[in-house]
């Protein structure tokens, strides 16, 4: 019985770690710094209905739910993430780092910043 509790505790801690612990080496970047960044990929991982309503061509829109399917289409350059919350940012950064991409920063977008970053792949 103790073995089951230990396995459940390890599974719970792993789940919480992947979602809530910050990813090492991924820094917070201000929104006005996105415009001046060259030779980097800005990847908007928010849901389509909250992010890609505009046509300002700065970022690639790839919601986190589609990341596993289409991550190979992301150019192999340093990546800056645009996310709606820290959990989304942590999950995407861990996933991309495990696939060999270099995630160097993130930006948490607020509700009133919809559509200012995106164009579709």
Q: Tell me the helices (H) and strands (E) count for the chain, helix number first.
A: 4, 6
pLDDT of residue 107: 87
pLDDT of residue 36: 59
User: Whole-model pTM?
Assistant: 0.78
Overall size of the chain counted in residues: 121
Domain 2-120: assigned CATH number? 3.40.250.10
Which run of H or E residues covers position 41? strand 41-44
Regions of the chain where pLDDT drops below 70: 31-37, 52-57, 111-121
- Dist. CA 93–CA 114, nearest whole Å: 21
pLDDT of residue 55: 38
- Dist. CA 99–CA 23, nearest whole Å: 15
- Dist. CA 17–CA 108, nearest whole Å: 19
Q: What does the domain layout of the chain look like in residue ranges? A: 2-120
């Amino acid at each position: 019985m103790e073995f089951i509790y230990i396995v459940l505790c390890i599974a719970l801690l792993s789940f919480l770690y992947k979602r809530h612990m910050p990813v090492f080496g991924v820094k917070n970047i201000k929104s006005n710094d996105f415009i001046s960044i060259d030779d980097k990929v800005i990847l908007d991982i928010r849901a389509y209905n909250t992010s890609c309503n505009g046509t300002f061509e700065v970022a690639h829109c790839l919601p986190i739910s589609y990341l596993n399917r289409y991550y190979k289409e992301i150019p192999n350059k340093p990546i800056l993430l645009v996310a709606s919350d820290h959990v989304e940012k942590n999950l995407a950064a861990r996933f991309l780092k495990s696939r060999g991409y270099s995630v160097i920063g993130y930006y948490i977008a607020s509700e009133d910043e919809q559509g200012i970053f995106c164009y579709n792949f």
